[in-house]
Amino acid sequence: MRTRELGRTGIEVSAYCLGTMMFGRVGNPDHDECIRMTHRALDAGVNFVDTADVYGYSETEEIVGKALKGRRDEVVLATKVNGRMGEGPNRHGSSRRWIIAEVEHSLRRLRTDYIDLYQLHHPDPRTDIEETLSALTDLVRSGKVRVVGSSNLPPSEIVEAQWVAERRALQRLRTEQPTYSILNRGIEREVLPLCRRYGLGVLTWGPLSSGLLTGRYRKGASPVENARMHWMPEHLTDERKLDAVEQLIVVAEEAGMSLAHLAMAFVAAHPDVSSAIIGPRTMEQLEDLLAGAGAVLGDGVLDRIDDIVPPGTDIGPLDVSYDPPAVIRPELRRRPADQRSAA
């Protein structure tokens, strides 16, 4: 397994990061198998593990904690905060109150006294970024967290966070975790160039486009009945994406590899990507992904991919992507009716 620098943190991470969202009730409820999968990934050279407090509503962090017993020091461990973890109004978000409380819960579940990378899972428009960075700075200074990062931040908020950190002498966000795949290349326009400018490490989620780039979902075929189809039906049945998949299958076959291996190799080929998150549910899926870890795409194959999905473009958003308030709240983009003048 190849290793790369995680931005300018000085930390070396494997080109594949073991994502654990499928560990637990949402994906694989067998804790013992999830632990065996983690050990298999570590034995194969993966030294980067990513989880989140909200995965399995804390169950996933508990599984990861058990899996890393006796092997914690060899792993770069990342988790996230922000998702709703209960019914109370303050049990989510990026406020100082919640971050300081929730990091203790994550440390206990993960059975560790420090977290290598603590990430803001989503933007929080309700909270001043200075408030958030101040809390994260205290966690770094206390030794409970080594490095802080973000996930799904729009370009403007990446810049704002860097500016505020510099002006207020606070810890900078050192990594970003965006979605990136052949079908969703929008981050190539601004996010990846910004990460390069500020020296941010990039670990990408969804390199298989939530299953579309495995070849299991085909144009004209009967829909696959599984949990993903309930989470993101529009994404998995989008005709434009399915058309692209059919073309990409041909490219993969002619390159002598599976579509999944092509998709992973594409993400790993970008010079600004530190690590691509794999999210296997079963040992079989993990073994297949590990088998393709050495795949390298030549310029000819990359050019053909560019022809199918042009650089910097998304073939439709993911159902689970972050949408800013200005997009989802009509009142932020429409004048009140009594203030609208006739055209």
CA distance 136 to 119: 9
Exposed, middle or buried, 307 (CB in 10 Å: 0-12/13-18/19+)? exposed
Residue that has been written with the tokens 């300018």 in this structure: 8
Is 118 a known active-site residue?
no
Tokens of 272: 């600004």
User: Residue 120 contacts by C-beta under 8 Å, 6 or more apart in sequence?
Assistant: 80, 81, 82, 94, 132, 148, 149, 150, 151, 153, 173
Catalytic residue, chosen from 55, 118, 180, 217, is 55
**Distance of alpha carbon 37 from alpha carbon 283, whole angstroms:** 6
Q: Which residues are catalytic?
A: 55
